[in-house]
Structure 1
Amino acid sequence: MSEVVISIEENIGLMIYIIIGFSVVLAIVEFFYELYKKKINKWRLGEMWASFSVFIVAQLMEKTSTLIFAGAFLLVGEFIPWQIPLNAWTTVLCLVLVDFIYYWEHVIEHKVRILWSYHSIHHSSPIYNYTTAMRVSFIDSLITWVFYLPLILIGFHPYIVLLCFFLVLMYQFWLHTEIIGKLGWFELVFMTPSQHRVHHGSDKMYLDKNFGALFSVWDRMFGTFQEEKHTPTYGLTKPIRTINPIKVHLIEYMNIFKDLRKSENLKEAWNYLVKHPGWTPKN
């Protein structure tokens, strides 16, 4: 089993380069398609640059977040005396469980404001293409690893959990496009661009829908599924109206700080942090 783990560890880097290369090709094809459709203009280029520059800021923290994410898994794994046998079936099981946990992590990030504060960055783009997938917070990886620790505790090897998490994360890249339409029966099981476009919509019927990453079945099971009925209005319900990467990262924290300052007591301040985004003492 150790030889299999070593093999996986050695090939994770290769898989990362292959997937990144494939993602770059998709982004280039999409860009030229948008040029062909005359969708590229100064405003759209500005929003695309905003997403890319946010990605650059996030990459400055990449080594720290990776160290915390992987380091925590490996450290906890050292103290677990039992281990689930490693084979094709348990790897598939781990992948399904990672995706299941991701679904609930994603739901919680939309329901708890202090977590929404970093996740809202990904939703702040008023356009939807492959650059939108890059608009992620550097804080994300510093926190989200906690959700997946139970998989280490029940005996999955840390490298398998990391591999499955990475695959689920990378799957989502191709979902961020408008050039791929509905995919028929495939959508009954797997998440698709059409379904994820709904998730990025700020329209009332689309809010807090389609949280899945790899599988769409979780949304169908737990009542959060919504079919794409019309082209969504992308972005937040209250647009941030900035392409400055620092402001994109910090604007929700600034909003939280303003709300905390006007809190009349500790309970109210606490509710501003843990209640749903938009909560006020009146609702």
Structure 2
Amino acid sequence: MKVDYIALSIPIFFILIAVELGYAFYKKLNYYRLNDSLANLSQGIGSQLVGIFLKTITFFGYLFIYESWRFFSFPNTIWTWLILFMGVDFFYYWFHRLSHQINALWAAHIVHHQSEEYNLTVALRQSWFQSGFSWVFYLPLAFVGFEPVMFLTVSAFNTLYQFWIHTRAIGDMGFLEWFLNTPSHHRVHHGSNPKYIDKNHAGTLIIWDRLFGTFQKEEEEVVYGITTPLASWNPVWANIHYWIELFTTFNRAKGIKEKLFVFTKSPGWFPEAMGGRQFPKEITINSYVKYSPDYDKRFTIYILFQFVFSLIIASVLLFTAAKLHLLQLIASVILVIMSLTAYGSLMEQKKWAVSLEYFRFLFWILCPLVFNAEVFFIQLLIGNTSLVILSFIWFKRLLRA
């Protein structure tokens, strides 16, 4: 039986985020910004919703290899679990490392590194499409003969471990720094300082970085983010912008070899005709200016209210997806993603933000009318048509104020 431990842990994630937020507020630490945090959480919501479709690919890909090609079957013992834990962590290291060193993989993984802050919401900032290929790195475990549900369980807990290390509230952890991936080690990994780039790829154990030469101790203060800032709160753009950059370079590259290198070389590689390899510039915490465009603060409560409602819908979707028809599921996911994009565009003061919000209202009302309302989630949407109307009135008043 498959158990989605990550989905079940979502309430715990938000409790811990609240604790860290309270600590930062009490200590007057600038760990959180509303716009950045909502953008991070939007990526997490989108990742979970898109994952409804991709997780099936992951499971059945591993399952097919296990059932058709395995050359051994491990017994369900504590030693098997320990060996599998080491195996999952080892292959995670190589998946993670190559995701930083190959452009086609970085195009997905870059999403996790776009935040210019470092707090527990960043842990939830995940690519929407990375799980579509990451499972391939673990196939050796299927060939060897580790049972699929055991693999999914260990893999989930490897991911869950990495949540708590996305914090600035915890300093050096003494002797644990030698073998565990800690907040200090992972802060380095999220740095755009040249000396920190492509370091500390560990999942749970930092030993792989020490063994394979990618370890870097935290020294000067970390500047968080990517070398070319995203400068957007739009969750859709965050997932596609690097792909657009790659295909732009691909179109300008000459010859098959150069065009292939666009996707297989490391980030920063360009054809000689386009200036050749570009290296990250030195940067300090004092010289770096974070992206934070002004927006009408009267929309803050409105955006927060609508975001919470989208979070509730997404949570219901995660636990009722199996009861929905495919078209109902797709339409519901589109509605949530459209909502998250609308909130981001409002915080950026985009000219098309108002039009998108109006279209979202229309889509929100039409969804339950187009599909059969016998499923609980669709009934929920129908029951909240009044909320759509109230939101519309609220939004109009804000525009007129």
Fold match (TM-score > 0.5):
yes
Partner of residue 43, structure 2: 54
Partner of residue 149, structure 2: 159
Whether 1:113 and 2:113 are equivalent positions in the alignment is no
Whether 1:274 and 2:264 are equivalent positions in the alignment is yes
Change in 2 beyond 3 A, CA 1:61/1:87: same
Q: Which residues of structure 2 form unaligned runs of 5+?
A: 278-401
Alignment deviations for residues 15-68 of structure 1 (CA, whole Å, 9 cap, x no partner): 556643432221110111222233459x82111111111122222212111111
Query: Partners in 2 of 1:184 and 1:20 — Cα distance?
Result: 29
Give 1:189-200 correspondences, 5 Å limit.
189-200=179-190
Query: Partners in 2 of 1:170 and 1:206 — Cα distance?
Result: 24
Matched letter for residue 115 of structure 2: S
SS in 2 for 1:145: helix
Give 1:195-234 correspondences, 5 Å limit.
195-234=185-224
Give 1:83-122 correspondences, 5 Å limit.
83-122=73-112
Change in 2 beyond 3 A, CA 1:189/1:237: same
SS in 1 for 2:142: helix
Partner of residue 69, structure 1: 58
Query: Partners in 1 of 2:160 and 2:259 — Cα distance?
Result: 36
Alignment deviations for residues 136-165 of structure 1 (CA, whole Å, 9 cap, x no partner): 111111110111111011111111111111
Identity %: 37
Higher RCO (C-alpha 8 Å, min separation 6)? 1
Please say which of residues 19-28 and 215-224 is displaced more in the overlay.
19-28
After the TM superposition, which segments of 4 or more aligned residues of structure 1 sit over 6 Å from their partners?
Answer: none
SS in 2 for 1:276: coil
Query: Partners in 1 of 2:235 and 2:188 — Cα distance?
Result: 25
Partner of residue 181, structure 1: 171
Change in 2 beyond 3 A, CA 1:206/1:249: same
Alignment deviations for residues 225-274 of structure 1 (CA, whole Å, 9 cap, x no partner): 11111220000011111111111111111111211121122211110110
Query: Partners in 2 of 1:16 and 1:262 — Cα distance?
Result: 42
Count of matched residue positions in the alignment of Structure 1 and Structure 2? 272
Q: Which residues of structure 1 form unaligned runs of 5+?
A: 1-8
TM-score by length of structure 1 reads 0.91
Deviation at 1:72, TM superposition (A): 1.5
SS in 1 for 2:120: coil
Query: Partners in 1 of 2:162 and 2:203 — Cα distance?
Result: 6
Whether 1:248 and 2:233 are equivalent positions in the alignment is no
Query: Partners in 1 of 2:126 and 2:7 — Cα distance?
Result: 19
Aligned-residue CA RMSD (Å): 1.7
